[in-house]
């Protein structure tokens, strides 16, 4: 049995994927705008959580290896937090790390 792995279409950067999927232009634009907002909101939330973790590390004068041991992650993961590499983390992972250092996260909507 052969698996077909041929690439048939590549969406160009900046193109509206929803338009290419066949949505009407007006709906495609609305969906693209909504998805960009959601992506940005998630990125901002991750940055806020990373800011808290970074502040905690600095406040306790910890080296990354020391922080990694307390957070129960690798030292490179701590480096990614400190350098705000939001794409490398889920919100859950960041919330869990904050919980480990006694900084429970509360959700406020609105």
**Average pLDDT of the chain to the nearest whole number:** 94
Collapsing DSSP to helix, strand or coil, 42 comes out as: helix
Please state the domain extents for the chain.
Answer: 17-100
pLDDT average, residue stretch 79-88: 96
Tell me the pTM: 0.81
CA distance 95 to 105: 6
What is the end-to-end Cα distance of the chain in Å, rounded? 53
Residue-level pLDDT at 23: 95
pLDDT in tens, 36-80: 999 999 999 999 999 999 999 999 999 999 999 999 999 999 999
CATH 3.30.365.10 fits 17-100, yes or no: no
Asked which of 4-13, 34-43, 52-61, 96-105 is least confident by mean pLDDT, the reply is 4-13
- Who contacts 101 (Cβ-Cβ below 8 Å, separation ≥6)? 53, 56, 70, 71
Backbone angles phi, psi at 74, to 5 degrees: -80, 160
Retrieve residue 11's tokens: 């969406």
């Amino acid at each position: 049995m052969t698996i077909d792995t041929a690439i048939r279409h590549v969406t160009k950067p900046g193109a509206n994927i929803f338009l290419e999927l066949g949505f009407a232009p007006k709906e495609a634009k609305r969906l693209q705008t909504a998805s960009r907002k959601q992506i940005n909101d998630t990125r901002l939330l991750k940055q806020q959580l990373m800011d808290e973790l970074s502040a905690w590390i600095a406040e306790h004068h910890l080296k990354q290896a020391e922080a990694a041991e307390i957070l129960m992650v690798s030292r490179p993961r701590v480096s990614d937090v400190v350098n705000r590499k939001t794409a490398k983390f889920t919100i859950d992972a960041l919330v869990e790390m904050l919980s480990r250092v006694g900084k429970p996260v509360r959700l406020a909507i609105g």
